[in-house]
Amino acid sequence: MFDFGNANDGQRQAISTTEGPVLITAGPGTGKTYTLVQRAIYLIEERGVKPEDIFIATFTEKAAKELITRITNELASRNITVNVNEMYVGTFHSLCLRIIKDHLEYTRLKKNYRLLDTFDQQYLVFRNIYKFRTISGIENVMPKGGAWKWAQAICEFSNNLTEEVVDIDAMLSDHDMEISVIAKVVNTYQAMLDEENLMDFSAIQTECYRLLKENKDILEDLRNSIKYIMVDEYQDTNYIQEQTIFLLGTHENICVVGDDDQGLYRFRGATIRNILEFPSKFDVGKCQIIPLVINYRSDSDIVEFYNKWMITTSGSKFKFEWDKFRYDKRIVANETSKIESPCVVKLASKDDEDEWHERVLDFINRLKNSGKIQDYNQLAFLFSSVKHERVISLARFLESNHINVYSPRSDMFFRREEVMQALGCMMLMFPNYVKGLENGEYKFLDNTHYFYFRDCIKAANEFVTKPENLELKRFIRAHGKGHATLAANSSGTTDYTYSGLLYRLFMYKPFSDILDTDIGVGVVDIRPARNLAKLTQIIGKFEYLHNIDVLTGKYIIKNTELLFNMYIKLLFDGGIAEYEDDEEYAPTGCVSFLTIHQSKGMEFPVVFVDSLGNVPRKSYKDILNKIEEKYYHREAFEPYDEMKLFDFWRLYYTAFSRAQDLLVLTCNEDKKTPSKYIKEVYGELQSVEALDLSEFTFHTVKSVNLKNTFSFTSHIAVYETCALQYKFYKELEFMPIRQGAMLFGTLVHETIEDVHRAALRNETEKITKDNITSWFDSNYISLIKTEHGYLAEGQRKAALNQVLRYVERQHGNWSAIQQAEVDVSLVQPDYIIEGKIDLVKGENGTVELVDFKSEKKPDIEKMRDRLEHYRRQLHIYAYLIEQRTGQKVSKMHVYYTGEENGNPMISFPYTKSAIDGTVAAFDDTVHKILKKDFRSCSNDPKTCSNCDFRHYCQK
């Protein structure tokens, strides 16, 4: 008999109803995640379903990690041993990427494709805007404001039409010029992606969908392996996601979970119709609708308040009806409030921002001094945007009164002292650039940028001119003179890049002090180190995109201007979020300032909801409406004139329902605040003065326990080489300076993979010299685009010969190959092990593991340490294979493709005791990492000489 634990009747029904389509409407705080976890357990334990037969799509990576963690913990508590990592669990994007990766040869993509984030995508278009300017009539569909505005609009059009799977060719022949122009824009953009082997975020799902639609065998294999589908946050899915789910779920064991009242992502293409129309996708009565309405999160006063909000749809000068655009529901609190004080109140001032600041501060102090809250992280402020000057002003006021504020999306990155000092020091090392800045020569900059860059220089100067910072001053002056001389001598070069200069700065204060910070301190104290790490990422990405390997006299002036006046300027305008830790969404010692969207799925004991002066605004463009009417695959669902009202109500419903014990609506009242849409519910509230805090018992913030993933090469080997390196590169995420790309080895590796894939597809007749050469050339072209590097003709010939020699040695015998490029992972009690095995082969019930090295076979005595490293790596792979598949590993080999005459392999016997020892050492190292023990560092001169932090360590 399945143990349902404390599940209520609705949850029990949702957990145990596994066959056929199911819609679970889950209101806020009704145990949605608990229900999903238990439903997965029920499938495995009660129904005997294999983990690999289960597909769970989540809205965020954090939600996916939380599901895996909670499912594995629950299975362990029930003494059930299965590998949950066999499940398809992740965001739609990550699951689609997994399918694409497994079948890459059936897509438009080639190996080594690059995935673009939002800024990368816009920057790509911006740099190629000339290709779009030639399109006749484009100025009629583009916004005013220059090339960057055009780039943003082009990306928006492309993303929308891609995710709606619009027929662009049909649009090209439309008599409406605006529509045909946009079709040409999208085609031009798509041609750029194809040429450069790129994929943007919105195209991930479309590429996966097309792969499945056009390859029936692959689709059928997936349909046969995925027997149960669950989709979380279904109200926030879009057209392509719905189509993919129904394409895979022909068995109809599809369970979708969501809350139509919390649909917030229309601006990303999501549509509430998916959850509202889900039952109609099946025969009448076939889909079971299971409502979860018992709220375990909030006080009953809070629940009643947001229930009332959703039905208050008329007031002064506004009126609308939900009609068919909402499931009728009423959330019920698990317990009735036991206190007399109201749990929903207001905190306001009368058109006096300073007074509002003081009143907010007084109330926070009142909460803290009463002893009712133990940590500032029990408080959260929610806004429509945290970038507004009014919000930033409140945060600064609280911080000036010793209350730390955690607001990673407030775009304060470029205003942080450490970032301004670092950028200022960098600028001072390029005197030609500083001179141009002082003379106002840069037309691409406006006053905001001039003032900011000059402030950076001022911040740096104020520090370096202090007597105790003489060494830093000399360093900057010496490099400034050197760069001025270099600019005058077009043939000269340096042996470093911009990021190399930044790393050299780290040997001096204040940067060295920042890097000395113990990683175990609070988020505010470690923030400067994380911001310096982000700055290395920014500059490193710039160097990659502009192919800068050294500074040259010919291009130093041009590239320096590009770095500051274009790249950093655009990032400054768009804003950069600071570090967010999924494992600590409410950092201790800090009040959280979050957007309402950002707070989705979170809960806090005390929630302040601001932005009460907002009014409903439309979130669509008229031109996209025209395209929707003609070319989308379904008609518009909600009335255009009411969308903004629906979205407004859903947004504040989500905000109000984050509160557990106390909800405070707060604003600086004036003629427009609160707006007429909120005024009625706001006006009925008592002020915070009505509270008797002695009645309250506030929850603490719930802990988030997420399992992290570790591999031998990417984590254990790095930590064992130098724990300090691990701290900087893995924990703080500093970007290493690009060393020359390992083109040769990658090229050999990838072409051998092509050979193995052909063998696994039973296409051994295609393993010919001509085809291998073709695969090799294709891989080389894609690598050139990714790595911005080249191989001389002799090197290319040597690499191809290594592959041909390997194939020749096989003598056409490929029958033993079982898997190639195998991603294996295993869930442990408090972390996940992963690895990637080049080749698994075997016969007679056992398997052998092969790892390829594109070098000559080494002298065993001279290279004992390296071989020991390879042996331990293969031990971990053997452990993963045996634990995951139950197959017995008989041998492990390192295959040297560069060996011309002798035996190309070094083999290691399978010894259980040796493997157990390696796994135990792996486990020990992981736990040192989890405890943030980064005290030890390397003493090996070779390791240190190749480390970007060598200057810092020499301080």
Annotated binding site for ATP: 26-33
Dig out the tokens for 315 from the structure: 């007031």
Residue 804: partners with Cβ closer than 8 Å, 6 or more residues away: 769, 772
Greatest pairwise CA separation for the chain in angstroms: 89
Contact 736, 499 (CB under 8 A): no
Q: Where would I find the H helices in 622-686?
A: 622-631, 640-656, 676-683
Say which DSSP state 566 is in.
I
CB 517 within 8 A of CB 464: no
CA atoms within 13 A on the CB side of 226: 26
Strand partners for 184: none
Report residue 123 as tokens.
Answer: 């920057």
Q: Of 711, 725, 435, 416, which Cα lies nearest the Cα of 578? A: 416
Q: How far apart are CA 566 and CA 543, in angstroms?
A: 13
Phi, psi of 607 (to 5 degrees): -120, 130
Q: Of 873, 813, 885, which Cα lies nearest the Cα of 847? A: 885
d(CA 126, CA 569) in angstroms, rounded, equals 13
Tell me how far apart the alpha carbons of residues 617 and 641 are, in angstroms, rounded to a whole number.
10
Query: Measured between alpha carbons, how far is 400 from 640 in angstroms, rounded to an integer?
Result: 45
Closest C-alpha to 105, from 218, 223, 204, 200? 218
DSSP for 778-798? HHHHHHHHHH-----HHHHHH
Q: Residues comprising the binding site?
A: 26-33
Measured CA distances, 937 to 454, 514, 727 (Å): 38, 18, 10
Whether residue 689 contacts residue 366, with contact meaning beta carbons closer than 8 Å, is answered with: no
For the beta carbon of residue 358, count every other beta carbon within 10 angstroms.
14
In the numeric block, which tokens belong to residue 751?
């072409």
Break the chain down into helix, strand, coil percent, rounded to 5. 50, 15, 35
Q: What is the DSSP track for 483-511? A: HHHHHH-TT-B-S--HHHHHHHHTTSTTH
